[in-house]
Structure 1
Amino acid sequence: MRIRKVLTTTLLLLGVAVSPAVADSSPSASPTDDSSAPTSAGTSFRTATEIEQGQQATANASTGDYLYWSFPADAGQRPTVKATVKLPSSSRSAAQTWQLDVYDGLRRRQACQYGAQTRTAAQDAATVDLACTLRTVRAWSEPWANDPLPGTYYIRLTVVNLGTADLGQPVNAEVQVNSKEIGGAAAVDGSLSQPLVPGIALTSQKSSESEKDKATLSSLKPDGGWTSGWWSDRWVWTAIGGVLAAIAGIGGYVLTRGSGRPSRVPPGV
């Protein structure tokens, strides 16, 4: 009976503890209303068009242009950037190679874990699809490392080899960013004091200066704001380990203490 009570208590505690972890593992970005999605792209880092995760941004441009977008990514997220370029229906003189690059808030180019970051479209191809899945965003990193950190990320889409005859032909680009929540598996013991967002140092200053002096170059934030990695499901599993250790100790004591009476009664007692 005592063993049954111990097992029942264990299952109840595990159910309560695992529930937050399951909720935390849900996708970090839900699809947003595309009616408000941007329909243009910037031409440099400073003029990059802001997009939210889950939005499908579009832009009409000319072959040879550099197209820039920016999006926020927080600690524990693994962003995947996808781009589709619709090429002109008119005949082209040669094949074209398109490339998708992603930079962090310090404008460091981030490597892709997987995905077709560069692709060549045949001379008669109608579209070309590109993708880049970044490494998991970390809450903190060594100064010498090139790890992705919380903050603003930049997308750059362009053609890397182009004949003169095809320069300036109209193209249409579609870009979308989605993230997978990795959780405690990527948690680290540390966090940035501020996310890598251009202009955030100016906006954090409490002064009587004009609004122009406190302008923010990037205004979008992840859903729920910046967490900087202070919470992850690693805390939940640590608590579960502690609970299991305590229950194991209690169960062992119950099984080994016996009935409380000596197994043999001495003669004459």
Structure 2
Amino acid sequence: MRIARVLGAAALLLGLAAAPAAADSSPSPSADGGAPTQAGTSFRTATEIEQGQRATASGSAGDYLYWSFPADTGQRPTVKATVKLPDTHAAQTWQVDVYDGLRRRQACQYGAQTRTAAPGTSSVELACVLRTVRAWAEPWANDPLPGTYYVRLTVTGVPTSDLGLPVGAEVRVDSKDMGGAAAVDGSLAQPLVPGVAMKTDDEAALFDLDPDDGWSSGWWSDRWVWTAAGAVLAALAGIGGYALTRGSGRPRQVPPGM
């Protein structure tokens, strides 16, 4: 019975520790109502979009289309873009690139970042899965850090006859919460949002779009929950082991004449 109680308490603690991680990883629903219908033409004029929001834009083959979105510590963003092409066109190669708040190009872990649409193809789909955003990194590192990210969509290979043809674009960004597995010891003083370090209380940063629950401080993660649960489980295991090995606590009776 004593062992059963120890195991039951351990199972309860594991369930409580896993609950926050499971809740954090579930995607939050978002509506497309009021989504942007145009894109910027440079980093400075990039159209702000929220994660989970489908943005659309019209342009021409040869244009540079820019959007920006916020990404916080522990998130692994996935950028998806669809280019709708005219009925008649030659082969075109499209590419989606992602840059951080310092305008450093971020590598894609996987995904079709560049694709070629054969003549007559109605659309081409692109994707870029970024590395997990870290709370802190060495100055020389190119690790993704919390702040504003830019999406640039453009055609990299197109015949002169197709330049200027009308195209439509759709962009959506979603993130997976990686939890304490991606936690590091340290955090930035400010997220990498252009203008945030120079703004005052009465001024706005160049890009004001923040995560729904605000920027993370960087010190908290579910790694603390698992660490505390591990310490409690170790204590319970020690108590259980002691209870099994100490016996009943009564001295043995020696038969007379022995």
Q: Could you state the TM-score of these two structures normalised by the residue count of structure 2? A: 0.95
Q: What's 2:167 paired with?
A: 171
Measured in 2, the distance between the counterparts of 1:7 and 1:163 equals 69
Does residue 29 of structure 2 align to residue 36 of structure 1? no
Deviation at 1:140, TM superposition (A): 0.6
Q: Which residue does 2:86 correspond to in 1?
A: 88
Where does 1:86-235 land on structure 2 (aligned, <5 Å)?
Answer: 86-89=84-87, 91-92=88-89, 94-203=90-199, 205=200, 211=202, 214-235=203-224
% of aligned pairs identical?
A: 75
Deviations 1:136-189 (A, max 9, x none): 101111111100000000000000122221111111000000001111111111
Task: Name the SS for the 2:190 alignment partner.
Answer: coil
Rounded to whole Å, the distance in 2 between the matches of 1:80 and 1:52 is 13
RMSD of the alignment, in Å? 1.7
- 1:72-100 Cα distance to aligned partner (Å, 9 max, x none): 000110000000000112x22x3111110
Contact 1:75/1:229 (<8 A) preserved? yes
Long gaps (5+) in structure 1: none
**What's the offset of the Cα at 1:16?**
2.6
- Aligned counterpart, 1:20: 20
- In the comparison of the two structures, how many residue pairs are matched? 258
Q: CA deviation at 1:267?
A: 5.7
Q: Is the 8 A contact 1:86 1:127 kept in 2?
A: yes
Q: Counterpart of 2:97 in structure 1: which amino acid?
A: D
Is the 1:87–1:126 Cα contact (8 Å) retained in structure 2?
Answer: yes
Mapped to 2, the partners of 1:75 and 1:58 lie a distance apart of: 27
Gaps of 5+ in 2: none
Distance in 2 (CA, whole Å) between partners of 1:156 and 1:238 is 40
Distance 1:32 1:11 in 2: 35
- The aligned amino acid for 1:25 is S
Name the structure 2 match of 1:70.
68
How far off its partner does 1:121 sit?
0.7
Q: State the distance in 2 between where 1:193 and 1:16 align.
A: 32
SS in structure 2 of the partner of residue 246 of structure 1: helix
Residue 231 of structure 1: how far off its partner (Å) = 1.9
The offset of 1:229, in angstroms, is 2.6
| 1:21 to partner: Cα distance | 2.5
Using the TM superposition, give the Cα deviation of residue 253 of structure 1 relative to its aligned residue in structure 2, in angstroms: 1.2
Corresponding residue of 2:7: 7
Q: Measure how far apart 1:239 and its partner are.
A: 1.2
Greater shift, 135-144 or 227-236, is seen at 227-236
2:250 maps to a residue whose letter is R
246-255 or 18-27, which moves further after superposition? 18-27
2:78 alignment partner AA = T
Kindly provide the amino acid, as one letter, of the partner of residue 123 in structure 1: P
Q: Distance in 2 between matches of 1:248 and 1:100?
A: 52
Report the Cα distance in structure 2 between the residues aligned to 1:11 and 1:62, rounded to whole angstroms. Answer: 59
Which runs of structure 1 show a deviation greater than 3 angstroms over 4 or more consecutive aligned residues?
A: 264-268
Equivalent pair of 1:31/1:55 in contact (CA under 8 Å): no
1:209-265 deviation digits (Å, cap 9, x = unpaired): xx5xx3321111112100043222211111111011000110111111111222244
